[in-house]
Structure 1
Amino acid sequence: MKKIGLATAVLFAMTGAHAYQVEVQGQSEYVDTTENTKNFTGDLQGTYYFKDVDASKGPLAEAAFLNKASNVSLAYHYGKYNTSAVNFQDNTAGVKGEAYFTTPYTAAVPLYTSVAYNHTDRDYKNGTPNDRGDRYAVEFGAEPTQNFLIAAGYTRTNPLALDTTDILNNGIAIAYGKAAYSDHKDFATARAKYVGAIDNTNMALGFEVKGIFNSDRGAYSLKTDLYLNPALSVGIAFADTSNLHSGFDHVWGGNVNYFITPAVSVGATYVKANATDGNTLDTDTVGLNAKVRF
């Protein structure tokens, strides 16, 4: 009976579940630089939602955002980079929590908060001393209108501090560019996100813009997605990280994602990062990802 029950649960998850409480996402990117083509990444994230997420309305990819679903997630990133100048592996582990809530004074305006922590270890293979770093972030925001979130926050980063959530959402090139590796820094952050239906169609449009800045430097990114139907989307992304001395100037990206069923999706990404600040290594990445919900 236990085997039958397990098989039934798996079949239900694979064929048509419209509510879920757990999401597991995997991703890998092939990184091609001017110097070589031997680099790659691997990423994994698991998210638990405190209540069932209704995926029957709107784009499946944005079900959690549309439901204002509070959650906690754990993520892991592995990267391998090998050139004539450097040879290293980096490992980053991260945890993040998001919460939507109201108060007696803000009953008509849902509030939002998030906290995140990431730790990165970089293991050099060419005699350079290994290093490590931490990244702390907190956000507070609100939804002044339906499905439109605005948030501001604070990020503390020291050398070599990647953001696993940013890697999974935007790819390693954009996440690296915004990591601000130069030294210990405190940054203010700002973010706006919106997802809305296109009138008289089965389509929807979403965008997210982010800024990270302090008194002498900053960066911003923009991501927009067109949901051709609830299951299929195409999107573009852009980031300008030159002022962070990241080694990249403008970073462009594109993606396509498709839900085979309401519980299973696959996707592909492409990112091009133009080198600057003395960095001669223009970078292209190609990624594949998949999600399972149950």
Structure 2
Amino acid sequence: MMKKLGLATALLLAMTGAQAYQFEVQGQSEFIDNTVNEQNFTGAVQGTYYFKNVDSTKGPLAEAAFLNQASNFSLAYNYGEYDENGLDIVSHTYGAKAEAYIPTKFVPAYASASYSHTINDSKNALETDDQGDRYALELGALVAPNFLVAVGYTSVADQVSYDAFNILSNGVAKAGLESATIADDQDAITARTKYVGAIDGTNMAIGFETGLVYGESTAYALKTDLYLTPALSVGASYAETSADIANDKAWGANVNYFITPAVAVGASYVNANAEGDVRDTQTVGLNAKFRF
């Protein structure tokens, strides 16, 4: 019995202290507080398989896959409950996504393709049941070390079809802002950049991301993360849309910490300001990741 216990303990330590991984599972929940209801919530989960082992010693642990240019395939699911002025809607969003980094003679190329499907189940007669699909394609290149530039096309058959991966990356409030930007146009052009780099003379690093969505309206997003150590980061974000909606701006803050190279926890806050409107919204999120 002692030998078995010792073997199990050694295996657990080897997994949680691993410097390379091929699978990542993350979970997230957000509590939504708006003017008329403070009991709405979401829950999301994503699983990612990397086609080769990811080396987590190259820089910030949170960005190991990006720094390794790790091609991958992901599945995601998001559950949400939303009440507002008599509305009672349960929402399910499913997603699948593939990312590929392709070496070339010039610079590494990048491509991604994703599909999301949303089902909105209304629990009363104030709203009808609804569902819709969205497809997205991106092409880009790493024009400098750890600096990605990409442009894309998104087709949204129904504006309530949210991006399952946007919900997990940026929160449900910003995913809703992006959906309102595309609105009835159904087709959208996207562009984004991402950079992660070390701060000379320290073990710290900095990351920047920008995004643009051009649909029926236009939205842009900015995000930065400061990696105080490879394990600990703090970040801030801002998004704004020209769409005619009450909460057309959202700012946020986050903190993430890797307890071990394989286990991480984090928290986030988003304020989608719509002062004087029932959709004035704040969200608080908790998340966790496990790599093996």
Pairwise TM-score range, normalised by the shorter structure? over 0.9
Amino acid at match of 1:81: Y
- 1:175-227 CA distance string (max 9 Å, x none): 1110137325100000000000001011000011010104x521111110000
**Superposition deviation, residue 4 in structure 1:** 7.5
Q: Whole-Å Cα distance in 1 between the matches of residues 174 and 100 of structure 2? A: 26
**Superposition deviation, residue 250 in structure 1:** 1.1
Quickly say closer, same or farther: Cα 1:197–1:151, change in 2 above 3 A. Answer: same
Quickly say closer, same or farther: Cα 1:4–1:47, change in 2 above 3 A. Answer: farther
**1:145 aligns to 2:147 (yes or no):** no
8 Å CA contact 1:174–1:251 kept in 2: the answer is: yes
Q: Whole-Å Cα distance in 2 between the matches of residues 182 and 213 of structure 1? A: 11
Quickly say closer, same or farther: Cα 1:246–1:167, change in 2 above 3 A. Answer: farther
Sequence identity percentage: 56
Partner of 1:284: 282
Partner of 1:37: 38
Q: Whole-Å Cα distance in 1 between the matches of residues 5 and 281 of structure 2? A: 48
Partner of 1:120: 118
**Superposition deviation, residue 164 in structure 1:** 1.3
- 1:18-50 CA distance string (max 9 Å, x none): 000000000000000011111000000000000
8 Å CA contact 2:140–2:151 kept in 1: the answer is: yes
Task: Provide the aligned length of Structure 1 versus Structure 2.
Answer: 287
Residues 124-203 of structure 1: matches in 2 within 5 Å?
124-127=122-125, 128-157=127-156, 158-180=158-180, 182-203=183-204
Q: Whole-Å Cα distance in 1 between the matches of residues 243 and 118 of structure 2? A: 19
**Superposition deviation, residue 113 in structure 1:** 0.2
**Superposition deviation, residue 144 in structure 1:** 1.1
Partner of 1:233: 233
- SS of the aligned residue for 1:178 comes to helix
Partner of 2:260: 261
Alignment root-mean-square deviation, CA? 1.8
Residues 70-89 of structure 1: matches in 2 within 5 Å?
70-89=71-90
- SS of the aligned residue for 2:165 comes to helix
Q: Whole-Å Cα distance in 1 between the matches of residues 95 and 274 of structure 2? A: 27
**Superposition deviation, residue 7 in structure 1:** 5.5
Q: Whole-Å Cα distance in 1 between the matches of residues 290 and 22 of structure 2? A: 11
Q: Whole-Å Cα distance in 2 between the matches of residues 245 and 71 of structure 1? A: 37
- Larger deviation, residues 263-272 vs 154-163: 154-163
Q: Whole-Å Cα distance in 2 between the matches of residues 4 and 141 of structure 1? A: 48
**Superposition deviation, residue 93 in structure 1:** 0.3
**Superposition deviation, residue 5 in structure 1:** 6.5
Q: Extract unaligned runs of 5+ from structure 1.
A: none
8 Å CA contact 2:71–2:101 kept in 1: the answer is: yes
Q: Whole-Å Cα distance in 2 between the matches of residues 40 and 153 of structure 1? A: 30
- SS of the aligned residue for 1:109 comes to coil
Quickly say closer, same or farther: Cα 1:34–1:143, change in 2 above 3 A. Answer: same
- 1:149-190 CA distance string (max 9 Å, x none): 000010011221111111111111111110137325100000
**Superposition deviation, residue 13 in structure 1:** 1.7
- SS of the aligned residue for 2:141 comes to strand
8 Å CA contact 2:35–2:277 kept in 1: the answer is: no
